[in-house]
Amino acid sequence: MNERILNMQKIINREVPPPPIAKLIGAELLQIEKGKAVFELECNTEKHANPMGTIHGGILCDIADMAMGVAFSSLLEMNETFTTVELKINYLKPIWNEKITAKGEVIKKGKTIGLIKCDVFDDGGSLVAHALSTCMILRGEKSVGR
Alpha carbon distances (Å) from 107 to 64, 115, 140: 15, 5, 25
CATH assignment at residue 56: 3.10.129.10
pLDDT in tens, 9-33: 888 888 988 889 999 999 999 999 9
- As a whole number, mean pLDDT of residues 132-137 equals 98
Q: Read off the pLDDT band of 6 (50, 70, 90).
A: confident
For residue 68, the enclosing domain spans: 3-143
Please tell me the distance from the alpha carbon of residue 117 to that of residue 127, in angstroms, as a whole number: 13
The model's pLDDT over 106-123, given as tens digits with 9 standing for 90+, comes to 999 999 999 999 999 999
Beta-bridge mates of residue 90:
130
pLDDT at res. 2: 80
* Model pLDDT for residues 30-77, shown as the tens digit of each residue: 999 999 999 999 999 999 999 999 999 999 999 999 999 999 999 999
Q: How far apart are CA 68 and CA 122, in angstroms?
A: 18
* The pLDDT of residue 126: 98
Domain count, the chain: 1
Which pLDDT does position 143 carry in this prediction? 67
User: CA quadruple 134, 34, 109, 120: dihedral positive or negative?
Assistant: negative
Say if pTM beats, i.e. exceeds, 0.75. yes
Q: Count CB neighbours of 77 within 10 A.
A: 12
- Residue 102 pLDDT greater than 90, yes or no: yes
pLDDT at 145: 65
